[in-house]
Amino acid sequence: MGSLKLTGIRKSFGAVDVLKGIDLEVADGEFVIFVGPSGCGKSTLLRIIAGLEDASDGRVEIDGRDVSAVPPAKRGIAMVFQTYALYPHLTVRDNMALGLKQAGAAKDTIASQIEMASAMLSLEEYLQRRPAELSGGQRQRVAIGRAIVRDPELFLFDEPLSNLDAALRVNTRLEIARLHREIRSTMVYVTHDQVEAMTLADRIVVLNGGIIEQVGSPMELYNKPANRFVAGFIGSPQMNFLEAERAGEPGCASVGVRPEHFSVSRDGGRWSGEAVHVEHLGADTILYLDSKEVGTLTARLFGEHAFTAGDTLHVTPLEGQLYRFDADGRTLF
């Protein structure tokens, strides 16, 4: 069991308020991701859950128990960091065993836990190696293995894939998804990468400037962003934002259209523009348009299209795919 409840969490460093009142409940077995721009307080919040940092105010409960005064080692959690923090002089086996040994686990238990974790993470062949003899992806798997063997109620991950190259990032992402399916532990995971958040999370918590902008499933955030910040943060390329008056849309301050929600034509449409740049990606074609009416626009089309820079094109938002925002940036539904 590893439910988590945060109530009124605040954190200030000197005069700087980093977290401004965070309320959140995470159910047992849930995979929740904190996403947001650099410096918005994600790591600070995770460290407060872990007990590595004290909140200035508020309460952390794990399984209904107030752990505010409980030291990190006694919270039933395991944390995986961006830097793997492995002991260089210890083998993979000994790195994984260390936490259990320190907790006084029996030899048999340690051996069977390492067997289980190394099988799950395909590390059996590497147990006698030292970290320096492993690739970055393997090192991160060892760091995850070290967390698994302790059989925690709650896993905390802080940007665990940031130091991996693109291909390894995708692989390790798939492994973490599979791991969660298999062990069903509660996972709280921090990233600044919205693709990672979209692909792994049951629910995403969008943080910005020390507050929660929105909590929801990936598709809720994509389809019903509460405000312009969330609308712009989720989705790639980013949503287009147009001034309502220039776009000819009454009763709101601005409108938003996702690049994948335009139809594009040479003949006519709602807004016209000149293609200033075209990216042919094979699976997709990305058009960057400069429109006299509404400014710059990005459109993403499925498949290959013979458009080139200099073309005059017309774009129309797909039916029901135009978002409207008020002057404070809140979505008008």
Q: Using CB under 6 A as the criterion, which residues of the chain lie in contact with ligand ADP when the complex forms?
A: 13, 18, 36, 38-44
Under 8 Å CB-to-CB from 154, ≥6 apart: which residues? 2, 4, 49, 62, 75, 76, 77, 78, 185, 186, 187, 188
User: In the complex, what is the shortest distance from the CB of residue 177 to Mg ion, in angstroms, rounded to a whole number?
Assistant: 21
User: In the complex, what is the shortest distance from the CB of residue 41 to ligand ADP, in angstroms, rounded to a whole number?
Assistant: 4
Interface positions, 194-233, toward Mg ion (CB under 5 A)? none
Under 8 Å CB-to-CB from 88, ≥6 apart: which residues? 130, 131, 132
Beta strands per DSSP E along the chain? 4-13, 16-26, 31-35, 57-62, 65-66, 77-80, 154-158, 186-191, 203-208, 211-216, 240-243, 254-257, 262-265, 271-280, 284-291, 295-302, 312-317, 323-325, 331-332
Distance CA 33, CA 200 (A): 8
Number of residues that bind Mg ion (CB under 5 A): 1
User: In the complex, what is the shortest distance from the CB of residue 95 to ligand ADP, in angstroms, rounded to a whole number?
Assistant: 25
Interface positions, 17-46, toward Mg ion (CB under 5 A)? 43
Between residues 79 and 123, which has the closer beta carbon with respect to ligand ADP? 79
Between residues 42 and 93, which has the closer beta carbon with respect to Mg ion? 42
User: In the complex, what is the shortest distance from the CB of residue 135 to ligand ADP, in angstroms, rounded to a whole number?
Assistant: 26
Distance CA 261, CA 259 (A): 5
13 binds, among Mg ion, ligand ADP, none (CB under 5 to 8 A by kind): ligand ADP
User: In the complex, what is the shortest distance from the CB of residue 19 to ligand ADP, in angstroms, rounded to a whole number?
Assistant: 8
The per-type count for the chain, helices as H runs and strands as E runs, is 9, 19
Distance CA 36, CA 252 (A): 26
Distance CA 250, CA 236 (A): 27
Amino acid at residue number 113: Q
User: In the complex, what is the shortest distance from the CB of residue 205 to ligand ADP, in angstroms, rounded to a whole number?
Assistant: 12
40 binds, among Mg ion, ligand ADP, none (CB under 5 to 8 A by kind): ligand ADP
102 binds, among Mg ion, ligand ADP, none (CB under 5 to 8 A by kind): none
Between residues 24 and 123, which has the closer beta carbon with respect to ligand ADP? 24
Between residues 43 and 291, which has the closer beta carbon with respect to Mg ion? 43
Between residues 36 and 131, which has the closer beta carbon with respect to Mg ion? 36
Between residues 22 and 123, which has the closer beta carbon with respect to ligand ADP? 22
Query: Rule CB under 5 A: which residues touch Mg ion?
Result: 43
